[in-house]
């Protein structure tokens, strides 16, 4: 089944990954992807906490616990589902950046980007204008850089949204 889905997505992956052949595009999406490793979330999270009149410690704890739950979820899925990255499976796709691990499903970068976009925006609504576009760029970067299939980022985004809304419900 995974092989069939991989083949269905191959054409899309090839077209999107071809963008990475342009140096400026590759550099831009590599920078976005690196920021999505963790720096952007720490910077925006600390700024959000500083802007809260009360509840900053609880907000930071919620953010850390949500991130931890996300790491456990996506690592557990990756090691069980073992979907090879597009650049490993298909000769026409180039890895324009180094991956953090071997497998692609789901996209942890996208999961965290969506999770933090929702979580931070729930506490500080003004950051939606920064976090939503950033989450979309992180998701796009993963396919442009040849590291993920579109379904990897779609499921990563859904998982991130589920984590964020679950966290908001628990901490309500």
pLDDT at 1: 64
Give the number of other CB atoms < 10 A from CB of residue 82.
12
| pTM of the predicted model as reported, rounded to 2 decimal places | 0.91
Give the model confidence (pLDDT) of 107-163 as tens digits: 999 999 999 999 999 999 999 999 999 999 999 999 999 999 999 999 999 999 999
DSSP-H helix ranges across 18-127 = 23-35, 39-51, 56-81, 86-89, 108-123
Assess whether pLDDT exceeds 90 at residue 73: yes
- The pLDDT tens digits of the residues spanning 17-48 come to 999 999 999 999 999 999 988 888 999 999 99
pLDDT tens figures, 96-110: 888 888 899 999 999
- For residue 54, the 8-state DSSP code is S
Q: State both tokens at 164.
A: 């964020």
Take residue 42 and report the two structure tokens written for it. 């720490």
Q: 67 vs 44, 64, 169, CA distance in Å?
A: 14, 5, 15
3-state secondary structure of 128: helix
Is 74:162 a contact under the CB 8 Å cutoff?
no
């Amino acid at each position: 089944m995974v092989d069939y889905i991989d083949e269905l997505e191959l054409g899309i992956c090839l077209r999107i990954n071809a963008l990475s052949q342009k140096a400026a595009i590759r550099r831009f999406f590599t920078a976005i992807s690196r920021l999505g490793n963790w720096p952007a979330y720490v910077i925006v999270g600390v700024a959000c906490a500083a802007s809260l009149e009360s509840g900053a410690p609880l907000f930071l704890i919620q953010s850390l616990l949500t991130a931890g739950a996300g790491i456990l979820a996506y690592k557990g899925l990756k090691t069980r589902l073992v979907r090879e990255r597009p650049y490993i499976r298909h000769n026409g796709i180039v890895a324009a950046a180094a991956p953090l691990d071997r497998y692609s499903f789901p996209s942890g970068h996208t999961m965290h980007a969506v999770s933090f976009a929702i979580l931070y925006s729930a506490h500080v609504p003004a950051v939606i204008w920064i976090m939503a576009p950033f989450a979309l760029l992180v998701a796009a970067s993963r396919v442009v850089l040849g590291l993920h299939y579109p379904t990897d980022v779609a499921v990563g985004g859904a998982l991130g949204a589920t984590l964020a809304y679950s966290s908001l419900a628990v901490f309500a």
